[in-house]
Amino acid sequence: MPDLSDYQHLRQNHPGWCTIESEPEIFNQILRDAGAPNTRVIELYSLDESILDKPDPIIGLIFLCRWRHDTSEVQEVETNCPNNVWFANQVSENSCGSLAMINILFNAESVILGEQLAQLKSFTAGLTPPLRGLCLQNSEFLRKTHNSFARRSEILQNNLDVIDSCKNARDSATATSPNSESAYHFIAYVPSGGSVWELDGLKRQPVKIGESDSTSRWLLTAMPRVQLQISKYSEDELMFTLLALTQTTPASIECLDTSFPYAIRVRHPYVAFMRRYIKLLAGKGIQVGHS
Catalytic positions are 96, 185
Q: How far apart are CA 107 and CA 97, in angstroms?
A: 16
31 forms bridges with which residues in the sheet? none
**Buried/exposed code over 205-225 (b: 16+ C-beta within 10 A; e: otherwise):** bbbbbeebeeebebbebbbeb
**210, HSE (Cβ side, Cα atoms, 13 Å):** 14
Q: Could you tell me which of 198, 225, 229, 227 has the C-alpha nearest to residue 107?
A: 198
**Beta strands of the chain (E only): which ranges?**
39-44, 58-66, 184-192, 195-199, 207-211, 240-247
CA distances from 180 to 1, 79, 174, 202, 259 (A): 27, 31, 8, 16, 29
240 forms bridges with which residues in the sheet? 65
